[in-house]
Structure 1
Amino acid sequence: MAVMVKEVRQLRRDRVTLAMIVGIPVMQLVLFGYAINLNLRGLDAGIADQSNTAASRALVMDMVATGVIRPTLSATAPQELMDGLRRGEISVGVVVPPDFERRRAEGREAVQVLVDGSDTVVQSAAIQLAQVPLDSADPPRPGGRSTMSRTGGGQVAVVSFYNPERRSAVNIVPGLIGVILTMTMILFTGVAIVRERERGNMELLIATPVSRTELMAGKVLPYAAIGMVQTTVVLALGMWLFQVPIRGSVLDVYVAAVLLILANLTLGLLISTKARSQFQAMQMTFFVFLPSILLSGFMFPFAGMPKPVQWLAEVLPLTHFIRLVRGVMLRGAGLFELWPDAVALVAFSALMMSLAILRFRKRLD
């Protein structure tokens, strides 16, 4: 009984463990029940209506009415839609050719739906657009009823780019680079300062002439090199075992990896200034790692999440890295085209490093 009472009191004093007792069930329930949604709706879409007739406009309205797509880009040519897909601005492009009316009357392929196939879930959702009837805009028959047959479903062609075979490895391996770097980098640096304190080395660091900034930088740089080794291993195995392509620049992939490594290392340093033990640092790392896995778009589609959850996910470095690495490796985009996510990672690293430096004191107390 005395030991039991002692453990209860110890748990009550350990706020991090106490928070995990309640926080982990609540976090998982909210994330899986509210934020995770495999039934995609509102995919960002571009429309290139080159016919611009009453029937073509009605068709576009019918596709929007399904709720699968949400027009965000108006284009005049299919190439503009392809550029939007490559940059990640849209997930779906709808092309209505100039001779839409003639194609529709002859029963030929009349509409193309261009899909970013780098996400297999997006491909599955976009297939629903192929079921939209092309004759829904016909004038009403006597009696006031309009024709709504399904004969036009075969005239809508869904064209998948970047992963036409729908291989899961093509989608997973690039994101797995970010997952591994997030888990290892935050954990390594999360225990860095705490380990020095537990082993009694803090006195030696206090006696050194290095500044707080130099100490933090010295803690980060060795792990950055480890992160580059991990990136190389995952890339090599992904290409060798799963034939994952690198359509963009390999240098851009490594630059994106460096940005994520720095973001995770600085976040880990901030955690290490707050934690009082290595166990606490691991617990705090778990609180960051779980939302990163679930909300970044690695496992579940980002477009299926509610807007408030998407805003939260924008704070996580892994969200921006997933967009960068998939854009470069699978869509052949350059970092210049994906600059908002690169800037977000740089800003995150600068903020976390500044907070870590401000929180760290070269004092034992």
Structure 2
Amino acid sequence: MKLQRLLAIVLKELRQLRRDRLTFAMIVGIPVMQLVLFGYAINLDVRQLDAAVLDQADTARSRELVAQIEATQVLTLRYRVSTPQEVNDLMRRGKISVALILPTDFEARLERGDRPALQLVVDGSDQVVQAAARQLARFPVPDAAGWTQQVTPIEVVNFYNPERRAPINTVPGLIGVILTMTMVLFTAIALVRERENGNLEMLIATPVSPWELTLGKVLPFVGIGLVQVTVVLLLGKWLFAVPVRGSLLELYLAALVFILASLSLGIFLSTLARSQFQAMQLAFFTFLPQILLSGFMFPFAGMPKVAQWLAELLPLTHFLRLVRGIMLRDASLFELWPALAALGIFTLVMLSVAVMRTHKRLD
């Protein structure tokens, strides 16, 4: 071994790396993104959960208690309702995660101390919300002379997951995570492989339009994605008894829109990559923010506003709202239309940009 030859090879690789702008950018971009996400955006302290309050007592003491709970900043009381049905509707539609209910005999219950004085109704389909509810359940309710407090003054009522089983929360989310990993990766690599093998140039020579070429390459993967959804649903039901409380048809429609969104992202990435290795790098580059910011692993409400705004641009964030709403809360697509519309807009934007880039390459 000669040091001169070894040095020549090292210099050659460094020059190649300098010319490969995408890889060079990832050398810096990946550690920066991980540092920002883990050190700043990911916050395990749950704050600002969207909540509603039903104060049937409407006394000075009940209003004071509501204000004290809101001052903890764990809850953001966005809705003040007058009936339990309004609480059910808001929670089913995903507008709130927690509801604070004070009964008409609130002060009498405090004085007797033999029954919980108020209720926290929580969305049990989210484990993070359950943890926040347990934290609030220990909130010190103000007492006075003569109040016995024989029982815990705050009762936690867990909707949709009364047994607090973890698979109820994780299995619906895994549908989105699995589709994200496979659809984006498969599509990006497959299209780049066609270009590397020269097959794409032969298709370009035909009268096929850019839209026809793009959609034709994508549609076969739609069936693969639906098969994956079916496998996860069957295993979730068989192994973990995860229910599907809503419409199975609407669940598959939501999955179909998300599959198209993921495929459109894969197509866009394929227009940036020049090799299969670069396509794989870009695909994994998009996995990290989606998994960390979507609410699958960490509390969405605990993230800074900037991180939440970024999460709203990612398809997995909206699909988690859809799949958990349909499977666990028996919500309809009509009630969850903002998330469905966001996926549709993301798909159209990504496909349009990818087609425009493909057209430019044809020139």
Q: Same fold (TM over 0.5)?
A: yes
Q: Aligned partner of 1:28: which letter?
A: Q
Aligned to 1:249: 247
Q: Aligned partner of 1:46: which letter?
A: A
Task: Assess if the C-alpha contact under 8 Å between 2:112 and 2:149 holds in 1.
Answer: no
Aligned to 2:70: 64
Q: Aligned partner of 1:203: which letter?
A: E
Over residues 143-162 of structure 1, what are the superposed CA-to-partner deviations in whole Å (9 max), with x where a residue is unaligned?
A: xxxx8x99487121011111
Aligned to 1:32: 38
SS at match of 1:300: coil
Structure 2 CA distance, aligned partners of 1:202 and 1:97?
68
Distance 1:296 1:226, change over 3 A: same
Deviation (angstroms), 1:29: 1.2
Structure 2 CA distance, aligned partners of 1:321 and 1:206?
34
Task: Assess if the C-alpha contact under 8 Å between 2:49 and 2:96 holds in 1.
Answer: yes
Deviation (angstroms), 1:362: 7.8
Structure 1 CA distance, aligned partners of 2:55 and 2:326?
29
Residue correspondence of structure 1 range 149-298 to structure 2 within 5 A: 151=149, 154-298=152-296
Deviation (angstroms), 1:52: 0.5
Distance 1:50 1:301, change over 3 A: same
2:142 equivalent to 1:135: yes
TM-score by length of 2: 0.94
Distance 1:3 1:153, change over 3 A: farther
Task: Assess if the C-alpha contact under 8 Å between 1:190 and 1:285 holds in 2.
Answer: yes
Structure 2 CA distance, aligned partners of 1:194 and 1:281?
7
Q: Please, which moves more after superposition, 315-324 or 184-193?
A: 184-193
Task: Assess if the C-alpha contact under 8 Å between 1:192 and 1:269 holds in 2.
Answer: no
Aligned to 2:101: 95
Aligned to 2:126: 119
Aligned to 1:106: 112
Q: Aligned partner of 1:7: which letter?
A: E
Unaligned runs of 5+ in 1: 139-146
Deviation (angstroms), 1:177: 0.6
Aligned to 1:142: none
Aligned to 2:3: none
Deviation (angstroms), 1:87: 0.9
Distance 1:157 1:5, change over 3 A: same
Aligned to 2:335: 337
Structure 1 CA distance, aligned partners of 2:60 and 2:249?
48
Over residues 92-143 of structure 1, what are the superposed CA-to-partner deviations in whole Å (9 max), with x where a residue is unaligned?
A: 100111111222221122201101111112111112222233335x6xxxxx
Q: Aligned partner of 1:128: which letter?
A: Q
SS at match of 1:330: helix
Deviation (angstroms), 1:176: 0.6
SS at match of 2:330: coil
Structure 1 CA distance, aligned partners of 2:92 and 2:207?
50
What is the number of residues matched between the two proteins?
Answer: 355
Task: Assess if the C-alpha contact under 8 Å between 1:271 and 1:281 holds in 2.
Answer: yes
Task: Assess if the C-alpha contact under 8 Å between 2:112 and 2:148 holds in 1.
Answer: no
Distance 1:285 1:38, change over 3 A: same
Distance 1:80 1:209, change over 3 A: same
Q: Aligned partner of 2:278: which letter?
A: Q
Aligned to 1:12: 18
Structure 2 CA distance, aligned partners of 1:262 and 1:363?
23
Over residues 30-79 of structure 1, what are the superposed CA-to-partner deviations in whole Å (9 max), with x where a residue is unaligned?
A: 11111111110111110000111001001101111222111011100122
Task: Assess if the C-alpha contact under 8 Å between 1:206 and 1:362 holds in 2.
Answer: no
Structure 1 CA distance, aligned partners of 2:69 and 2:84?
18
Structure 2 CA distance, aligned partners of 1:195 and 1:76?
59
SS at match of 1:113: strand
Aligned to 1:141: none
Deviation (angstroms), 1:203: 2.7
Structure 2 CA distance, aligned partners of 1:269 and 1:345?
16
Deviation (angstroms), 1:86: 1.0
SS at match of 1:361: helix
Percent of paired sites with the same residue: 63
Unaligned runs of 5+ in 2: 1-6
